[in-house]
Amino acid sequence: MKVIEHITKAKSPFFSFEIIPPLRGGDIKQIFSIVEELLPLHPPFIDVTSHAAEVQYEETPSGEIRKKVKRKRPGTIGLSVAIKNKYNVDTVPHILCRGFTKEETEDALIELNYLGIENVLAIQGDDKGYKKPTPHGKTTNENASELVDQISRMNKGKYLEEDLLDASSADFCIGVAGYPEKHYESPNLKADMVTLKRKVDSGAHYVVTQMFYNNKYYFDFVKLCRESGINVPIIPGLKIITLKRHLTSLPRDFYIDIPEDLYNEITEADPKNVIDIGVEWARKQVEELMNSGVPSVHFYILQNTKPIQILYKTLKL
């Protein structure tokens, strides 16, 4: 079932989750274990992230700096299909612009369509200082709106390869990312809104937001979206803080704000109590969001299910 169908048919608010594939060479049983821990929370769909190759610079004992291309987390397509077939839970594989050509993207989408995956999240992807060279004669999507357009064209039976012109149409539900505190590359939130509307106009069916810790950012973001003519569902995304180092790593990596009250409480707390503080903060966020009428909340789980399990027991749903 498509994500937008889950939203429209839901009789009560639900949680969805985002998990990350294991490191190269990891065991799929690790992911299955994570999914099985999430199943009692009845997720209608689970996102599976994707990662392109990236460059890492390593210093040798002699002081020489060497560039090494590292492929970190493979298997998004395989994991998405395995999870759906094993647990009968819809999956949303992430499709990236950066690090992939249009031809590679088309191949991946054809495979996903063939294997019965109905949802994808189209995102630009992180820039880790490495952009995969484009092979001669091939092209790339420069941004998420171009990627959405490519997927939308496939939904209409329009492919890059001439010998696929008679192929049947795909039928993907397309999600895109939204940034309540604006994307770090945008000069301001209104300019970012233009970018988001372009993605929706290109064919996106819903938006899932970057994590935030002040619900006002989300409410203001939705209001601005509606004023800008963006009328698709907007799913709030949350992540539970569990470690003191999240106070610096999350703002650094995701360009978000940590409210002063939350920062002070965690800073002054014993490290073993941070998870309780994070869960309580998330509980207040979730209850306010659901009381405002959001049909669902999307949690960035990655590979740690303990916080969401604790939170679920505290909620009055």
pLDDT digits (tens, 9 = 90+) for 112-156: 999 999 999 999 876 554 455 455 556 889 999 999 999 999 999
**Residue 165 covered by a domain:** yes
**Residue 157 covered by a domain:** yes
**Residue 122 covered by a domain:** yes
Q: Which pLDDT tens digit goes with each residue over 162-202?
A: 656 566 788 999 999 999 999 999 999 999 999 999 999 99
Domain count along the chain: 1
Q: Is 196 helix (H, G, I), strand (E, B) or coil?
A: helix
**Residue 265 covered by a domain:** no
Return d(Cα 235, Cα 87) in angstroms, integer: 23
**Residue 67 covered by a domain:** yes
**Residue 255 covered by a domain:** no
- Evaluate whether 200 touches 225 at the Cβ level (below 8 Å): no
- Concatenating the DSSP letter of every residue in 17-85 gives EEE-PPPTT--HHHHHHHHHHHGGG--SEEEE-----EEEEEE-TTS-EEEEEE-----HHHHHHHHHH
Return d(Cα 219, Cα 200) in angstroms, integer: 19
Q: Tokens for 69?
A: 């291309």
**Residue 63 covered by a domain:** yes
Whichever domain contains 154, its CATH number is: 3.20.20.220
pTM: 0.89
Return d(Cα 224, Cα 137) in angstroms, integer: 41
Label residue 39 by pLDDT band (50, 70, 90).
Answer: very high
Domain holding 106, by residue range, is 3-242+275-314
**Residue 257 covered by a domain:** no
Label residue 53 by pLDDT band (50, 70, 90).
Answer: low
Return d(Cα 241, Cα 274) in angstroms, integer: 7
Return d(Cα 190, Cα 195) in angstroms, integer: 9
Please count the CA atoms within 13 angstroms of the CA of 218 that sit on its side-chain side.
Answer: 25
- Evaluate whether 41 touches 87 at the Cβ level (below 8 Å): no
